[in-house]
Structure 1
Amino acid sequence: MGRYTRTLITAALTVTAVAGTAGWASGSAQQAVTGVPVGTRAWIADGLPDPERMTPDRVGDFFAGLTDQRREELVREHPSVVGNLDGAPLALRYEANARTVGARFGGARVLAFDPRDRGQVALVYGDPATARHLAVIVPGSDIDAGNVAPLAAMATGLREATRGDTAVIAWAGYTTPVGVGPDAATGRLAEAGAERLVRLTDGLAAVGTPTPAVFCHSYGSVVCGLAAHRLKAKDLVVLGSPGMRAADAGALNTPARVWAAKAPTDWIDKVPHVEFAGLGHGPDPAAPAFGARRVAADDVPGHGGYFAPGTRSLRTFAAIAQGDAR
């Protein structure tokens, strides 16, 4: 059989599986929400620097040069901008977002909130400014500002498993696919999400938080794979991954330790780990050949249970977050 024929067969199998496995034919096309924060036009009209031209380090320098009184004025006058500027002091962002969203996300402080389209949000459990360790959780399909509960449960589960030793950011900061349709089978939304995720970790570094362990669930692992070479992370952990758009762990070009978990009952295992003509996300990160460190997940219930209390995976995640896993 020739190479060309094998390629055609692989493509046909991929399309068939995507159309017929675990609901991959469902889901609607999404337009990625990107760009500067809501309210930027008024911010610039007041003579303030264009956020699009500012790196997180420059944002940090800008706020460092302001008096406390001026900072508070900006929080009052431009809360939707201050609350979403990576590199701004965390306390100011919490205060600004509290003005914007009120108590909508009770139990967590809001690090970022974008009301456009389905909405994006980053929720903080614990205090990254004082915690010994920090973790970021990047979700997959269907998570947004109106459906953040599954992600919040992952974050609180991880924080409790570390006995409060680790601050956790539940980052629904990109436009996720809806369902597991065409958007979930391509990298278009992940590419936009990767840019935002890199800026998040750059912003955390700019304000002096610990370098995070980043946990990436399902389609979120595609985001993390595309961001990996620029991501400020000490560990990169993928769970229930359809692929990272990388041939192996070395191809991610990251100094972070790479870990992977996949439950025997996870439907993601039925998705072909191939990439052809932009469809599919490549090799299985949990396969030995990929070269990631394996996280035991034999007792994980299905695709969404990796942070379930009492599971071996959650215990290992806590050890990774705290720097105790080897």
Structure 2
Amino acid sequence: MRRLTRTRIAGVRRARGRIARTVVAAVLTASAVAGTAGWVSGAGQRPVTGPPVGTAAWRAAGLPDPERMTPDQIAQYFEGLGLRRQQELVRSHPDVVGNLDGAPVAVRYAANARTAGARFAGRQVLAYDPRGRGQAVLVYGDLGTARNVAVVVPGSDVDAGNLASLTRKATALRGAAGARTAVVAWAGYTTPVGVGLDAAGGELAEAGADRLARFTDGLRAVGAASPALFCHSYGSVVCGLAAPRLAARDLVAIASPGMRADTAADLGTTARVWAAKDPTDWIDLVPAVEFAGLGHGADPAGPGFGARPVPAADARGHDGYFAPGTASLRAFAAIADGAAR
């Protein structure tokens, strides 16, 4: 009996030790990165959710509730309106029309030109939400005629006022993939600021996953090609959580801290899953664990995950995967235009 008791005590101690190591590793998801990057955010971000700005006035006018309509239903609603009525809605309710996934692309551009034209002069703005730090979705190319569509999903520190890194990636991909591919810069969710507990947690990614899934449903509803999603850093957490609901052809995890899945099969998607990680990327220091809401799980670029590898040896650092001339950008272009196998 004494020996059995000692055995049980030893087992409990070992279990406690494993749990403690896991907790420490999960916390290091934030602290190791912060130490490498040299900065960390202490301010928590609240995700922007719910219907577009101006929805109360839209409902009061007797128009159908956006929260009760799928993108397919929104597409059908606009198909039943004449061009004159569509233009009337653009003038009277631009905040709503510009953010309705499933509404005609040209109608959304016209609405967002009214609400965000001064901020994004000359650009094709598919969505603009001024709430919080602001969200914006920009399009390069013609979604209606493009043979292929690529969507770039960013990680931390991207919002309507800080789009430079995202638009560089999107325009580089568009240039490499060619005119047959339209590229979407999707800053359509509340991203973490800096590298801290928001980046180590999943709350922002969960809210972003809902918005991303609805966005891809909206692309399908207007007849756009099934997209390839290029999910960078924390954006790959968003894509991982959204994966079972995404209307996507390809899913590319780039510099990923994890996708909240143990394997590619666990993502529950019919899309082809790819992964790229440069050996000089500091993301490699982030422990591949998930515990008590911290950390994002297995490394998608690891051999056991099951993703198709993307060459990235000549990329540099955490943000160099879309640099012109790199093997990773060439591979991304081949995935975007459907040529990769």
TM value normalised by structure 2: 0.93
Corresponding residue for 2:67? Answer: 52
| Letter paired with 2:40 | S
Corresponding residue for 2:54? Answer: 39
Corresponding residue for 2:207? Answer: 192
Distance in 1 separating the partners of 2:169 and 2:29: 29
On the 8 A contact 2:29/2:295 being kept in 1, the answer is no
TM-superposed deviation, 1:4: 3.7
On the 8 A contact 1:22/1:267 being kept in 2, the answer is no
TM-superposed deviation, 1:15: 2.0
Match of 1:221 among 236, 244, 249: 236
Distance in 2 separating the partners of 1:16 and 1:313: 28
Corresponding residue for 1:21? Answer: 33
Distance in 1 separating the partners of 2:265 and 2:93: 43
1:198-213 alignment, distance < 5 Å: 198-213=213-228
User: Quick one: structure 1 residues 106 and 302, their matched pair in 2 at CA, closer, same or farther if it must change by over 3 Å?
Assistant: farther
1:76 and 2:91 correspond: yes
Q: Which has the larger radius of gyration?
A: 2
| Letter paired with 2:192 | P
Match of 1:7 among 1, 11, 19: 19
Distance in 1 separating the partners of 2:171 and 2:121: 13
1:242 and 2:257 correspond: yes
Distance in 2 separating the partners of 1:15 and 1:176: 19
Corresponding residue for 2:327? Answer: 312
On the 8 A contact 1:159/1:165 being kept in 2, the answer is no
| Letter paired with 2:150 | A
SS at match of 2:27: helix
1:58-207 alignment, distance < 5 Å: 58-106=73-121, 108-207=123-222
What are the Cα deviations for residues 228-271 of structure 1, in whole angstroms up to 9, with x where unaligned? 00100000001000000001100001000000000011110001
- More displaced 10-residue stretch of structure 1: 72-81 or 22-31: 22-31
On the 8 A contact 1:29/1:183 being kept in 2, the answer is yes
| Letter paired with 1:22 | A
Q: CA RMSD in A?
A: 1.2
Distance in 2 separating the partners of 1:217 and 1:126: 21
SS at match of 2:280: coil
Corresponding residue for 2:4? Answer: none
Distance in 2 separating the partners of 1:20 and 1:232: 35
Distance in 2 separating the partners of 1:106 and 1:268: 35
Identity over the aligned pairs, expressed in percent?
66
SS at match of 1:290: coil
SS at match of 1:113: strand
1:216-295 alignment, distance < 5 Å: 216-295=231-310
Give the unaligned 5+ runs of structure 1.
none
TM-superposed deviation, 1:112: 0.1
Distance in 2 separating the partners of 1:123 and 1:166: 14
Distance in 2 separating the partners of 1:125 and 1:30: 29
SS at match of 2:30: helix
User: Quick one: structure 1 residues 177 and 325, their matched pair in 2 at CA, closer, same or farther if it must change by over 3 Å?
Assistant: same
Distance in 2 separating the partners of 1:300 and 1:219: 18
On the 8 A contact 1:140/1:177 being kept in 2, the answer is yes
Distance in 1 separating the partners of 2:61 and 2:134: 26
| Letter paired with 2:18 | R
User: Quick one: structure 1 residues 229 and 116, their matched pair in 2 at CA, closer, same or farther if it must change by over 3 Å?
Assistant: same
On the 8 A contact 1:43/1:81 being kept in 2, the answer is yes
SS at match of 1:29: coil
| Letter paired with 1:5 | G
TM value normalised by structure 1: 0.98
| Letter paired with 2:142 | D
Distance in 1 separating the partners of 2:122 and 2:67: 31
TM-superposed deviation, 1:6: 1.4
Distance in 2 separating the partners of 1:252 and 1:18: 24
Distance in 1 separating the partners of 2:261 and 2:32: 25
TM-superposed deviation, 1:103: 4.0
Distance in 1 separating the partners of 2:304 and 2:165: 31
SS at match of 1:199: helix
- More displaced 10-residue stretch of structure 1: 156-165 or 205-214: 156-165
What are the Cα deviations for residues 75-112 of structure 1, in whole angstroms up to 9, with x where unaligned? 00000100000000000000000011114224530000
Q: What is the number of residues matched between the two proteins?
A: 326
TM-superposed deviation, 1:3: 3.5
